[in-house]
Chain A
Amino acid sequence: MKKKVVILHSSETVRRGLAGILHGYFNADIVQMSAPQNVDTSSGIFNYPVIVFMEWLSLNDGDELNFPGQNKNIERVLIFENDIRALPRGCKYSISLKFTSSEIYDTVKKCFDTGYASEAAHEGEGLTIREKDVLKLVAMGFSNKEIADRLSISIHTVISHRKNLTEKLGIKSISGLTVYAIINKLIDTSNINPEDLI
Chain B
Amino acid sequence: MEIFTSENKMAHIVRQNCHLLPVINRFGIRLGFRDKTIAAVCDEYDIHAEFFLAIVNTFHNEKYFPEKELLLFSPVLIINYLKKTHVYYVDYVLPKLESLLRQLLQSSHEKKMELQMIGLFYKKYKEELLRHIGDEEENVFPYVLGLAINNHAETNYRIHSFEKEHTNVDNKLNDLTSLVIKYMEPVYDENVCNDFLVTLFGFEKDIKDHARIEDKILVQQVRMIESRLQR
Residues on A close to B: CB < 8 A? Answer: 169-173, 175-176, 179-180, 182-184, 194-195, 198
Contact = CB atoms under 8 A, between A and B. Distances in A.
A173 B172 contact: yes
Interface stretch (B32-40, B142-150, B177-185, B196-204): B177-185
Q: Per DSSP, are chain A's interface residues mostly helix, strand or loop, or mixed? A: helix
Interface in B112-138: 113-114, 117-118, 120-121, 124
Contact of B175 (A172, A183, A194, A195): A172
Nearest to A172: B171
Given A170-B178, A180-B179, A194 B117 contact: yes
Dominant SS among interface residues on chain B: helix
B168 interface: yes
Interface of B: 113-114, 117-118, 120-121, 124, 168, 171-172, 174-176, 178-179, 182-183
Contacts of B178: 169-171, 176
Given A172-B175, A198-B120, 5 more contacts: A175-B124, A176-B176, A183-B114, A183-B117, A198-B121
Contacts, number: 48
Contacts of A184: 183
Contacts of A170: 178, 182
The 6 closest A-B pairs by CB, nearest first: A176-B175, A172-B171, A170-B178, A173-B171, A171-B175, A173-B172
Nearest to B170: A172
Contacts of A182: 113, 117
Contacts of A169: 178, 182
Interface centre among B121, B124, B174, B175 (most CB of A within 10 A): B175
Contact of A175 (B113, B172, B182, B183): B172
8 contacts: A176-B121, A176-B179, A179-B117, A179-B121, A179-B175, A182-B113, A183-B114, A198-B121
